[in-house]
Amino acid sequence: MEIKNGKVGGVAAPKADFDWDAFEQGVITGVTNTKEELEQMYDQTLSTISEKEVLEGVVIALNKREVVINVGFKSDGIVSRNEFRYNPELAVGDKVEVYVESQEDKKGQLVLSHKKARALRSWDRVNEALEKDEVIKGYIKCRTKGGMIVDVFGIEAFLPGSQIDVKPIRDYDMYVGKTMEFKVVKINPEFKNVVVSHKALIEAELEQQKKDIISKLEKGQVLEGTVKNITSYGVFIDLGGVDGLIHITDLSWGRVSHPEEIVQLDQKLNVVILDFDDEKRRIALGLKQLTAHPWDALSADMKVGDTVKGKVVVMADYGAFVEIAPGVEGLIHVSEMSWSQHLRSAQDFLKVGDEIEAVVLTLDRDERKMSLGIKQMKQDPWENIESKYAIGSKHKALVRNFTNFGVFVEIEEGIDGLIHISDLSWTKKIKHPAEFTSIGESIDVMVLEIDKDNRRLSLGHKQLEENPWDVFETIFSVDSVHEGTIIELFDKGAVIALPYGVEGFATPRHLVKEDGSQAKVEEKLDFKVIEFNKAAKRIILSHSRIFEDDKKSEEKAEKKAEVKTTKKAVKKVKDSVEKTTFGDISDLVDLKNQMEAKEKKSGDNE
């Protein structure tokens, strides 16, 4: 191998005459210094370090896992790259602080820690940053309740969610693992709590920007903004540091259920300034005002009576709002939904989303109001009422409502009628219609009268059958006797159920039985008809009259027999007088005197 300039192949070669024995004995030929002196001189070229000391070193190499740091010692230290997560921009040549854990480990390696060095001086640095209002860097480690955990000088500081940005944060996870600039806003030495803020860095700049924008605000001015937040009542727009609100009613000329139908978060759009307070802190914005009002584009040919198509957009108990064009709505009142006069809810006829046809009833272009009707799409049932529901015609009806005096029924939608309580039954005495029928039931009726002006029919139910009172007049004639059952008893008398479903009435005096006792409810007795009134449909009965009349008949018969006997005696006397003599007359006078004496004696005894 070729040796040039004392080097073998470019590598320094030992001297051929070097005395290794002398070197081992501590004598180096050609050098005046001893081995110890040379070692001392070498040691003086290196830094003197102590364990548990914080030093400043220089990064001389780094990779994804490790950072090599030179602190001027005989060997370099290696620190895990994880300890520099807060500073992803670390580069060769950067000066960093390290903590000397050990001058030499088992492998003869200098052991350093950047994390511990930061921790030893962290509180001093944090307090200094707070005092000087200094901007510092921190590494966001993870999320926590209400905010984030940030590594600042090796201390875990709290970053509230409200202090991350001036805009509301929708995704906190996007900040995890990022290094950002912060300001220390609060320190609690007792609990060693540190609160930092990123928002504080940009607020000052935004405040100035806000002042500039507010000073130039004017009503009617059009500005570009960004959708910052969406609520159920409106949209908040960032105008570049100044927030304004577009109320939901100012988003579109049409009906809007929720602002999300119109805008999206972070969307940029032009808005017009509608109003603001004196201090310009509340700014009202509009979006729909940038387009012409739909009423202005409404066809000039549209008039009352026209048929229009539309979609039901809002329902209320009193009616439905129908959109016939974007931003142009008409109201269909519930009374214009059906020819029926029964009070009903609009939800019985329509629902949101229905596509319908309607007739224009009123149109006010100045007030931008329109009323519509859908019942007008059908013929008014009262136009041909006389022919369709002629007097005397029979129909089926639906019971709708009761009153004390009758039943309201509906023959068809829009055709109502009243059955008076007296026209429900020929025979039964009905106190309330609920005793006869029920709401919602079907009932047969006959048309009695037509009141076209008031749109009412007078109806009857009993007229569907012949009047049984024509027959009852012959059956329940005065003095006729019938078996009856007392079904109701009260102070003024009793109601008695008679054959053929008819009822009669008896006063208390006529309820006395032959033994002197009073008749009771559900008792069956014979009753005599003492009054029959066909017009009033009234039958007056008496039980006591039966035995009273029988007694009178017996007395009358006895009296009649006595009179008959007397008449015979008188006739005999007359006949005798005609044949008598004076002697006989004398005898008769004696007989007369004797009878008069007896009568006088009888009178004195009395």
DSSP 12-73: E---TT--HHHHHTT--TT-SS-HHHHHHHHHHTS----TT-EEEEEEEEE-SSEEEEE-SS
- Cα distances (angstroms) measured from residue 430 to each of 433, 460, 463, 490: 7, 14, 16, 17
Cα separation, 542 vs 525, in Å, equals 10
What is the reported pTM?
0.41
Mean pLDDT computed over 206-229? 81
Cα separation, 430 vs 403, in Å, equals 13
pLDDT digits (tens, 9 = 90+) for 185-213: 888 877 778 888 888 877 767 777 777 77
Q: What element of type H or E holds 184? A: strand 179-188
Could you tell me which of 198, 181, 176 has the C-alpha nearest to residue 137?
181
Q: What are phi and psi of 204, to 5 degrees?
A: -60, -45
pLDDT digits (tens, 9 = 90+) for 493-510: 999 988 888 889 999 988
Cα separation, 433 vs 424, in Å, equals 8
Average pLDDT of every residue of the chain = 80
- 8 Å CB contact between 279 and 303: no
How high is the pLDDT of residue 410?
A: 86
How high is the pLDDT of residue 22?
A: 62
Residue 576 pLDDT greater than 60, yes or no: no
How high is the pLDDT of residue 2?
A: 44
How high is the pLDDT of residue 9?
A: 45
How high is the pLDDT of residue 4?
A: 47
How high is the pLDDT of residue 141?
A: 87
How high is the pLDDT of residue 595?
A: 61
Structure tokens of 282? 């509340």
How high is the pLDDT of residue 40?
A: 62
pLDDT digits (tens, 9 = 90+) for 418-462: 889 888 887 777 888 888 888 888 888 888 888 877 788 888 888
pLDDT band at 1 (very low <50, low <70, confident <90, very high): very low
> How deeply is 158 buried, as exposed, middle or buried, from its count of CB atoms within 10 A (0-12, 13-18, 19+)?
middle
Considering only 250-254, 259-263, 310-314, 589-593, which range has the smallest mean pLDDT?
A: 589-593
Residue 370 pLDDT greater than 60, yes or no: yes
Mean pLDDT computed over 114-137? 80
pLDDT band at 247 (very low <50, low <70, confident <90, very high): very high
* Percent over 70 (pLDDT), the chain: 82
Mean pLDDT computed over 369-384? 85
Residue 363 pLDDT greater than 70, yes or no: yes
Q: What element of type H or E holds 458? A: strand 456-460
How high is the pLDDT of residue 540?
A: 92
How high is the pLDDT of residue 413?
A: 80
How high is the pLDDT of residue 580?
A: 46
10 Å Cβ neighbour count for 80?
Answer: 13
Cα separation, 376 vs 336, in Å, equals 8
Could you tell me which of 461, 445, 451, 463 has the C-alpha nearest to residue 386?
451
- Letter string b/e over residues 263-278, b meaning 16 or more CB atoms within 10 A of that residue's CB: beeeeebebbbbebee
486 or 430, greater pLDDT: 486
* Percent over 90 (pLDDT), the chain: 8
pLDDT digits (tens, 9 = 90+) for 525-554: 999 998 988 878 889 999 888 888 777 777
Residue 582 pLDDT greater than 50, yes or no: no
Q: What element of type H or E holds 122? A: helix 114-131
128 or 272, greater pLDDT: 272
For tokens 């988003």, what's the residue?
Answer: 251
- Please give the torsion angle defined by the CA atoms of residues 374, 377, 378 and 383, in that order, rounded to the nearest 10 degrees: 100
Identity (one letter) of the amino acid at 323? E
DSSP 275-337: EE-TTS-SEEEESGGGS--GGGGS-TT--TT-EEEEEEEEEETTEEEEEEETTEEEEEEGGGS
- 8 Å CB contact between 138 and 185: no
Residue 349 pLDDT greater than 90, yes or no: no
330: Cβ contacts below 8 Å, ≥ 6 apart:
308, 310, 321, 322, 324, 358, 360, 370, 371, 372
Output helix, strand, coil percentages for the chain, rounded to the nearest 5.
30, 35, 35
Residue 21 pLDDT greater than 70, yes or no: no
- Please give the torsion angle defined by the CA atoms of residues 172, 178, 180 and 185, in that order, rounded to the nearest 10 degrees: 50
54: Cβ contacts below 8 Å, ≥ 6 apart:
97, 98, 99, 100, 117, 120, 121
169 or 362, greater pLDDT: 362
How high is the pLDDT of residue 163?
A: 84
Mean pLDDT computed over 279-296? 82
pLDDT band at 485 (very low <50, low <70, confident <90, very high): very high
Cα separation, 506 vs 541, in Å, equals 5
364 three-state secondary structure:
strand
- DSSP letter assigned to residue 516: S
Q: How far apart are the first and last CA of the chain?
A: 197
169 three-state secondary structure:
coil
Mean pLDDT computed over 226-250? 88
Q: What element of type H or E holds 528? A: strand 524-533
- Please give the torsion angle defined by the CA atoms of residues 480, 484, 488 and 494, in that order, rounded to the nearest 10 degrees: 30
447 three-state secondary structure:
strand
How high is the pLDDT of residue 8?
A: 43
10 Å Cβ neighbour count for 70?
Answer: 15
